[in-house]
Chain A
Amino acid sequence: MSDSALRSWLLSDTPDSRRQAAWGRAYRSWLRFRVNPLGMAGLVIVVALLIASLAAPLLAVQSPDVQHLTLRLAPPSAAHWFGTDELGRDLYSRVLYGGRITLGMVLTVVVLVTPIGLVVGALAGYLGGMADRILMRITDIFLSIPQLILALAFVAALKPGVTSAVIAIALTSWPPIARLARADALTIRGTDFVAAIGITGASRMRIVFRHILPLCLPSVIVRITLDMSGIILTAAGLGFLGMGAQPPTPEWGTMIAATRGYILQQWWVPTIPGIAILFASLAFNLLGDGLRDVLDPKQT
């Protein structure tokens, strides 16, 4: 199919199939997203971060754990683009590998949390009554402590480390998604098409999982993208407080905690991982902002 034929197939007002309609909708969203410079900047950084993390072994100049004690705290140079840390490890390589850990944590949390939040929210919103009240009470309880503080208490009880940090962040990340999905489900529940599906004899579970859940997705996707930035900051904060990834793991927050004493003389050593955190979190915020304008303009 040539480019223009593909374009007219995508933009057709009378799609022949569900697939064509879905692709057409996605393409129209993309056209609207493309003109938002900040959103595009976010997308580019996110993709770049993903590629850099996946290709870390190819891009890194040496293993993140190789120490050269004679080359401690070297300033940025041709051999060490970002300089070296307190044990003479190459900072550029460590920041690259750190991206794997941070993005890995974020993606794991999202994979764990999205289905839980969606299902809890959609069920509460659609079923209403007692089920709604109980599910939302539980959600409220988890929302009643700031995320970082609840995560800190959980990690303290488990054992500091990447796995505990992921579990702790996941435990505190699903409630906002459930809230949002519930609000959407409440609106969708009253629509005519849901009533029509009910009349055709669809079971309640079929209505929730096949018809309500998919419609909650756009606002949930926006929320999750914005939350990813918060997850990155919480993960880094846990690392910085010594409760996340443990040294020598090259996690950005942990790297800052280990080298914060050098801020006065060798300021770049703790600052460079800090900039990495800022970029990652900024990218997801910008991307989420751009997605909101396209997918869910009502949300603030």
Chain B
Amino acid sequence: MRRLRALAASVASVPVTLFGLVLITFVIGRVVPIDPVVAIVGDHAPPQVIARVRLELGLDRPLPVQFVIYVNRLLHGDLGRSVMTSHRVTTDIAHYFPATIELATAAILIALAVGIPLGVFAAAKGGSRFDHFVRVISVGGQSVPVFVLGMIFLLVFYVKLGIAPGTGQQDVLFEGMVPRVTGMHIIDAALSGQWDAVQDGLAHLALPALVLGYFSLGYITRMTRAYMLDALHSEHIITARSKGLSAARVLWVHAFGNVAVGLVTVIALAYANLLSGAVLTETVFSWPGLGMYLTVSLLNADMNAVLGATLVVGVVYVGLNLLADVAYRLLDPRVR
């Protein structure tokens, strides 16, 4: 019962957080030195046009009223129009977000496939040379600037060795060939049965996903190691060992089995943190995702687009954090 109440409390706090998030974007939008009216109609518009647009946008009203209008529009799914693309910001985000999901998912899969075994073995051989090696690898992942790593990967694997394709999501050859269904290029290519396009998409995905994956590898490895060390020092492990079970079975079934639940939380948080790294990785690899949309909008002072993207990232982030919290409380019977 207490568990459910704690769960309800963490769910109930979400609307308050979201409200704060909206308030932050509203305040940022209002302190911008760029006049939103001029941004829409241009520098040379006649004064009566400027006055009309100002009225239409409700900018003559007091700030609290403007905030209510802003929230009301948000609730109707209206993030305004992008000055740069002249589309609705929601349309733009729906267009660019799937590419980011594709990239982030590939990255987290790589990070898990490498990070969990590294963390488990590092804990099993705590204090050994291998443990130190893993520590250096994971600290490296948390220290290396993703945009530098991305550039170096492009230089080495694309320019020098020629084993990876260049930037972007696909080869020009496949431009416009894959019908858009989910927006995730590789899945769409597979759905339309174009296996050469799938192969090409995977090849383009490899470098940015590796770069971004290394970024979260450090966190996942370090948390796996910490949890495993904890588990390996508990009494049921001694029991399992004294029963004569094989080392592998003790490690993976008895110790890791208890750790896996805690890792769900870690994975959700790591996925959420990938969103920051995605901005920089997408810029380096010209990956047509939300991060690139955000930076291009920033450079064009397209505030509707910037705030819309910020808000969407914030909502996803809050959602993933909530998921982490709920998963932890529901799956782990020790949390009471």
Could you tell me which A residues sit within 8 Å of B by CB distance?
38, 137-138, 140-142, 144-150, 152-154, 156-159, 229, 233, 236-237, 240-243, 253, 256, 260, 263-264, 267, 270-271, 274-275, 277-278, 281-282, 285-286, 289, 300
Contact of A147 among B147, B276, B306, B318 (CB under 8 A): B276
Known contacts A141-B20, A145-B314, A300-B226; 7 additional CB pairs below 8 A are: A38-B135, A137-B20, A141-B23, A144-B321, A149-B276, A158-B33, A241-B283
Q: How far in angstroms is the closest Cβ of chain A from B220?
A: 12
Contact B140 A282 (CB under 8 A): yes
Q: Does B148 contact A (CB under 8 A)?
A: yes
- A-side binding surface: helix, strand, loop or mixed? helix
- B-side binding surface: helix, strand, loop or mixed? helix
Docked Cα-Cα span, A158 to B135, in Å, equals 39
Docked Cα-Cα span, A275 to B135, in Å, equals 20
Contact of A156 among B17, B140, B298 (CB under 8 A): B298
Within 8 A of A (CB), among B277-329: 279-280, 283-284, 294-295, 298-299, 301, 303, 306-307, 310, 313-314, 317-318, 321
Docked Cα-Cα span, A289 to B13, in Å, equals 33
Contact A144 B144 (CB under 8 A): no
Q: Does B31 contact A (CB under 8 A)?
A: yes
Chain A residues with Cβ below 8 Å from B38 are none
We find that the number of chain B residues with CB closer than 8 angstroms to chain A is 55
B301 to A, closest residue via Cβ: A156
Chain A residues with Cβ below 8 Å from B299 are 242
Q: Does B45 contact A (CB under 8 A)?
A: no
Residue from B272, B275, B298 whose CB has the most chain A CB atoms within 10 Å:
B298
Chain A residues with Cβ below 8 Å from B142 are 229, 281, 285
Q: How far in angstroms is the closest Cβ of chain A from B65?
A: 21
A288 to B, closest residue via Cβ: B139
Contact B155 A149 (CB under 8 A): no
Docked Cα-Cα span, A273 to B167, in Å, equals 22
Contact B223 A300 (CB under 8 A): yes
Q: Does B81 contact A (CB under 8 A)?
A: no
Residue from B272, B276, B317 whose CB has the most chain A CB atoms within 10 Å:
B276
Contact A243 B20 (CB under 8 A): no
In the complex, per-residue mask of B202-236: 1 if CB is within 8 Å of any chain A CB, else 0: 00000000000000000000110010000000000
Docked Cα-Cα span, A7 to B16, in Å, equals 55
Chain B residues with Cβ below 8 Å from A263 are 151, 154-155
Known contacts A144-B314, A263-B154; is-contact A236 B28 (Cβ 8 Å): no
Contact of B294 among A140, A152, A300 (CB under 8 A): A152
Q: List 22 A-B contacts (CB under 8 A).
A: A141-B20, A141-B24, A144-B318, A144-B321, A145-B24, A146-B272, A146-B276, A148-B276, A148-B280, A152-B306, A156-B303, A157-B33, A158-B31, A229-B143, A233-B145, A237-B279, A241-B279, A242-B299, A271-B151, A274-B145, A277-B145, A286-B139
Q: How far in angstroms is the closest Cβ of chain B from A145?
A: 4
Docked Cα-Cα span, A146 to B280, in Å, equals 13
